[in-house]
Structure 1
Amino acid sequence: MQGYRIDPTVLREYDIRGVVGEKPEGNLGPGDARAIGRSFATLVRAEGGGKVVVGRDGRLSSPMLEAALVEGLTASGVDVVRIGISSSPMLYFAELSAEDVQGGIQITGSHNPADQNGFKMVMAGRPFYGAAIQRLGELAAAGEWSRGAGRIEDRSVIDAYVEGMLGALADLPADRLAALKIGWDAGNGAAGPVLERLTARLPGEHHLLHTDVDGTFPNHHPDPSEEANLADLRALVAAKKLDFGVAFDGDADRIGVIDGQGRALAGDQLLLIYAEDVLRKNPGARVIADVKASRVLFDRVAVLGGVPDMWKAGHALIKSRMKQTGAVLAGEMTGHMFFADDYHGFDDAFYAALRLIAATLRLDRSVAEFHDAMPQLVSTPELRFAVGESRKFAAIEEVRGRLAEAGAEVVAVDGVRVTTADGWWLLRASNTQAMLVARAESETPEGLARLVGEIDRQLAASGLSR
């Protein structure tokens, strides 16, 4: 069989992601999408499946990639259910809720720039990542694809998806829900259609921004982890005197929140609010956070009677850890939030917004009051600096070796997180880009400076710098 070479740099740890266009500027196109479809269908059929659901975000390149992907899937003998423009969590819902579906692929560039796109995948309700993604490339290179003639159908799942989320508010008094005033910013991403339907079903006062799906992102880039992208939402919260505001990334699996005083909450701060609510109903439950989260979170989860679990960054890795350990709640600094107590366990920014509403009412505190009560440590932002793909993991191993020789206190589940008298610092290799990522946290600015100095010394010892 004739094979097809997929650029290995687009086959990431927990998704496929690249620049759309012809080489050398681009590394992801319709040929890649077709090959990915053929390889994925081959794996689905090997597990006894025969139908895959496909969704896409609003990027300009998504229809082209969808057409090629579907062509590849059907050519390898699986039927395809197209759900049209959708968020990633809506795709996950469609894959889990349909008994006749055994896999799912979302075409999305997530929070990346408009010229990029990619694929997020699930199979039989499980995250599809790591070696499984590499296997797609291997099958393509060898041309080891199944053959067939799959059929295509279009199916709408948006109403069932919205209906399924509303259970998050079912036990709350209607009058208290009606008193809430909330702002929402879809960022011109795939969140828009769901957001319009969802807020139409909610009591209270709701103000919506940028719900038109537009792959050029004319108002701001849809990445709520960047403060600059929250300016419109912050202005709306102030102008309308809202209780809080919610922002979404391009495929609505990441949430950003502005409190009533205009302050952005970090992912670990948001997770702490959820943990207080969830642990009241689930005493002793495990709560997972990625290695970039504040020690305040891990300490507070323990005080609340939960089991804190520090784990690797990455949505697929977190979901896999939840299934492995039975954790009911997890979150990442990037705004991915996962609920498995009364929900499906995947990252869903819409559902996370509803659970934030529920937490404020059940615990009788505003988002701003939660924010005020949190210890105020000093920390760096996430520091990212370019290091080649072939060098980044080797550099981390060198740092790990030196720290072991020095007898440092290290957590090594994802890079190295080092605790000292000043606080902690982290250095890890990005799974999605040719970069190293660093962060540090301390009780004082002076301590933070010393921690950053330690990061710089370790980098210098490996011939690198920020």
Structure 2
Amino acid sequence: MSHRFDPTILREYDMRGVVGRTLFEKDAYALGRSFATRLRHAGGTRIAVGRDGRTSSPMLEAALVAGLTAGGVDVVRIGIGPSPMLYYAEAVLDVDGGIHVTGSHNPKQDNGFKMVLQHRAFFGEDIQDLAALAADGDWLEGAGSVTDVDVCGDYVTRLMAGYGGGTYRIGWDCGNGAAGPAVEALTGVLPGEHHLLFTQVDGEFPNHHPDPSIDANLADLKALVAREGLDFGLAFDGDGDRIAAVDARGRTIAGDQILGILAEPLLRELPGATIVADVKSGQALFDRIAELGGTPLMWKTGHATLKSKMLETGAPLAGELSGHLFFAQDYYGFDDALYAAVRLIRAVHLSGRSLTELVDAMPAVERTPDLRIPVAETRKVGVVAEVRDRLMAQGVVVDETDGVRVTSDSGWWLLRASNTQGALTVRAEAADRPALLGLLATVEATLADSGVDISLSDLLDPT
């Protein structure tokens, strides 16, 4: 037997595609066979498997489990839950790896798989190796067993371990994603008053799509906070590994701003510690970490790359603008939005100020979302290289951590090749709107020199 995956589902950080178009039941089975082979070659025999609430997840999970057991691996099924609950199971159960069936924050017709092998992120060349094993049919044979384990209660207990966060009135929006039941259990034991939105798992996402990095998806949470006069609100993506927050005034607090709040109590406890943030994060975060006596480290975007860099450097905390936050201090080193919520509540309490006051103290900036520019898949990397070379020839200081990031007196801008599609992505940040538009004009000019004509200002929200 052999199997070939549609190459578009072999992403940098996971496997993900459109069910019935690029992702099928047979792909899940083949993935199980290939991962079982990798696991056994590494000396492992057992794996934890979980899933989100998408309508296609039961089918994909069943095929995945069939492939794993046919490959001679014993499967521990943990059922529906957030991806961090699967990571937790992989960390504490007697297993050698884990796979979560999830489409994360993608549209409802999408689905995929996030993987862990022996407590380490599984990405990049690892995923390509799975495809090669499948194409060759180079699979080990066996007859594994299947058991079911309920870990949600233990997971929530672990989230609360050492909690000392005070008492607040908080809104929680799960967007009908997989985090809902765990959030219900968590808020049942957290002090304070909690108002819950859309905790029922529903793969049709009938209220709004669970991607908190898009401000429009926070409208229900902001309305709840305003209507009930709450202290703040928290929102999660479809598989509960990304978080966003809103303060009492309805202002959105992005992942890098949350990371800056979390950094303060951590650096009091661990002076000088390294904190890793992705290249999309604002300059204010890196400045704040240094101001607090920490060591800021900018790294590549992507939850798997951040997790690996954190492990490599021994950093106790890391995060992305998108809301992936990673905790190694008193935790396991993976990204967990529910644990981030608990730690954020604690950080606000320890600050002696309200979350609104903490946001008031942050530098005011104008920032773009990810501005996506379609280009040919074969051209995107070359364009970034051309821009880099021209800038360096002009004497411009270029940060090449992940693409091209340029900082000036006006602010900073970033140009990257997308990891997931034929596109370039641009981000920029400045003190005010005119300065931001000036930065975007600079990017437009340098892209035009590579034959990419685009009006970036037209891609901004006109407000």
Q: What TM-score do the two structures reach when normalised by structure 2?
A: 0.96
Map 1:379-418 → 2, pairs under 5 A: 379-418=367-406
How far apart, in 2, do the equivalents of 1:53 and 1:285 lie?
A: 33
More displaced 10-residue stretch of structure 1: 391-400 or 40-49: 391-400
More displaced 10-residue stretch of structure 1: 385-394 or 148-157: 385-394
> Partner of 1:145 in structure 2?
139
How far apart, in 2, do the equivalents of 1:52 and 1:395 lie?
A: 42
Query: Quick one: which of 46, 55, 73 aligns to 2:68?
Result: 73
> Partner of 2:256 in structure 1?
268
Instruction: Report runs of 4+ in structure 1 exceeding 6 Å deviation.
Output: none
* Pairwise CA distance, 1:465: 3.3
Deviations 1:409-443 (A, max 9, x none): 11101111012232211001121233211111122
1:63 and 2:51 aligned: no
> Partner of 1:459 in structure 2?
447
> Partner of 2:352 in structure 1?
364
> Partner of 1:95 in structure 2?
90
How far apart, in 1, do the equivalents of 2:57 and 2:410 lie?
A: 47
1:16 and 2:15 aligned: yes
> Partner of 1:351 in structure 2?
339
Deviations 1:236-256 (A, max 9, x none): 101111110011100000001
How far apart, in 1, do the equivalents of 2:415 and 2:162 lie?
A: 37
More displaced 10-residue stretch of structure 1: 148-157 or 213-222: 148-157
Paired AA for residue 247 in structure 1: A
Secondary structure in 1 matching 2:415 = strand
How far apart, in 1, do the equivalents of 2:235 and 2:453 lie?
A: 34
* Pairwise CA distance, 1:397: 1.7
Deviations 1:140-183 (A, max 9, x none): 111111111111111111011000110141x45xxx42xx1011
> Partner of 1:39 in structure 2?
34
How far apart, in 1, do the equivalents of 2:136 and 2:197 lie?
A: 47
More displaced 10-residue stretch of structure 1: 208-217 or 427-436: 427-436
Secondary structure in 2 matching 1:446 = helix
How far apart, in 2, do the equivalents of 1:389 and 1:74 lie?
A: 37
* Pairwise CA distance, 1:444: 3.4
1:185 and 2:173 aligned: yes
* Pairwise CA distance, 1:367: 0.9
How far apart, in 2, do the equivalents of 1:355 and 1:8 lie?
A: 39
> Partner of 1:201 in structure 2?
189
> Partner of 1:440 in structure 2?
428
Secondary structure in 2 matching 1:308 = strand
> Partner of 2:460 in structure 1?
none
* Pairwise CA distance, 1:189: 0.4
> Partner of 1:341 in structure 2?
329
Deviations 1:270-316 (A, max 9, x none): 11101112111111001111111111111111010000001000000
Note if contact 1:187-1:211 (Cα within 8 Å) is conserved in structure 2: yes
Query: Quick one: which of 114, 123, 133 aligns to 2:127?
Result: 133
In the alignment, structure 2 segments of 5+ residues that lack a partner are 455-463
Paired AA for residue 324 in structure 2: H
Note if contact 1:252-1:349 (Cα within 8 Å) is conserved in structure 2: yes
- RMSD across aligned positions (CA): 1.1
Deviations 1:306-344 (A, max 9, x none): 000010000000000000001111111101111111111
* Pairwise CA distance, 1:365: 1.1
Deviations 1:79-98 (A, max 9, x none): 11111101100000000101
Query: Quick one: which of 327, 330, 347 aligns to 2:318?
Result: 330
How far apart, in 1, do the equivalents of 2:351 and 2:202 lie?
A: 38
* Pairwise CA distance, 1:392: 1.7
Query: Quick one: which of 398, 401, 415 aligns to 1:427?
Result: 415
Note if contact 1:168-1:355 (Cα within 8 Å) is conserved in structure 2: no
> Partner of 2:46 in structure 1?
51
Paired AA for residue 28 in structure 2: A
> Partner of 2:108 in structure 1?
114
Deviations 1:9-67 (A, max 9, x none): 1111111111110xxxx101111111111111100000000111110000001011101
In the alignment, structure 1 segments of 5+ residues that lack a partner are none
Aligned length: 454
* Pairwise CA distance, 1:382: 1.9
> Partner of 1:6 in structure 2?
5
1:166 and 2:169 aligned: no
Note if contact 1:409-1:420 (Cα within 8 Å) is conserved in structure 2: no
Deviations 1:369-396 (A, max 9, x none): 1100001022222212222322222221
Paired AA for residue 69 in structure 1: L
